[in-house]
Structure 1
């Protein structure tokens, strides 16, 4: 099981950077558009046998909330990111494991270019993405701009070697995917 505080700080820095950059790129709008009441409710990755419920993840005390370890089969959508199927970067996080068992994104490192990821939304529509690439990066070199500022779906979990002294994984596994079917079809 990875310690969440360091990982969360890195993610939060990216979210804040992304929010600031998006604000500057709105062309001088004074008021941001209202967020839709539509939220992602499930992620399906057929090639990995993943069909997992999604919860909203916010920021508490400057750190991104993570799905609870007591619910290892649940992933979470960062609610300050784009709604999957809409323009922008949609970010979904999931644990790789718990103290005793694999978790929802245990197989994420095995996904390959061209494979499909589907996100079912609360409006019954499904956004379908095609995997462009997968990378494993040192947490100290987290590519916040690439994750939070470019359009597409981003799936993130821990990976690499486990640092027993710090009680966390040293790396993140990040999947980059491009929207191929907008959220216009019913699930």
Structure 2
């Protein structure tokens, strides 16, 4: 077998360098853009009620919306199948009214009044500001799903009304409807 020439070693070194650079996407090829990070809401502030609470993502399983864990009573949850607050469409946030031993994040929600402000901090640094339009208490058997999940605006939902001790749950939902003022 013939001994490698100087040029064949240079070509071989160039090929190896090219393979390594391509493997690390630095071989002069097109750079891939960094993956796009999805914007999520991170905190809810309701100044008139003294509420400042972190938000977590909630999913929908078999048509039922997940609830924030009872172990985190001061955390509210954004339904990730709804829009990000500040974007057009319905944005839905849930929180518990209480636990077996103490008030929870949305305990004071029943005191919301028309015109009060709600602020949602987002992971992109923007703040979505809403103005309360109305507050309603509805039977869980008559939940206005279309109004909550299809119409534009922010919806805050918690339990309300009388507590049914046999079923261990509240009979009603309290829903705050708010309109986006600015992002």
TM-score (ref. length: structure 1): 0.77
What aligned pairs does 1:2-151 form with structure 2 within 5 A after superposition?
A: 37-151=38-152
Q: Considering only CA atoms, is the larger Rg found in Structure 1 or Structure 2?
A: 2
Task: Tell me how far 1:63 sits from its aligned partner.
Answer: 2.5
Offset from partner CA, 1:129-164 (integer Å, 9 cap, x none): 000000000000000111111100000000000000
Which structure has more relative contact order (CA 8 Å, sep 6+)? It is: 1
| Separation in 2, partners of 1:142, 1:63 | 13
Runs ≥4 in structure 1, deviation > 6 angstroms? none
Q: What residue ranges of structure 1 are gaps of 5+ in the alignment?
A: 1-34, 183-187
| Separation in 1, partners of 2:117, 2:182 | 11
Find the counterpart in structure 1 of residue 173 from structure 2: 172
Q: What residue ranges of structure 2 are gaps of 5+ in the alignment?
A: 1-35
The aligned length equals 148
Offset from partner CA, 1:19-62 (integer Å, 9 cap, x none): xxxxxxxxxxxxxxxx9700000000000000000000002344
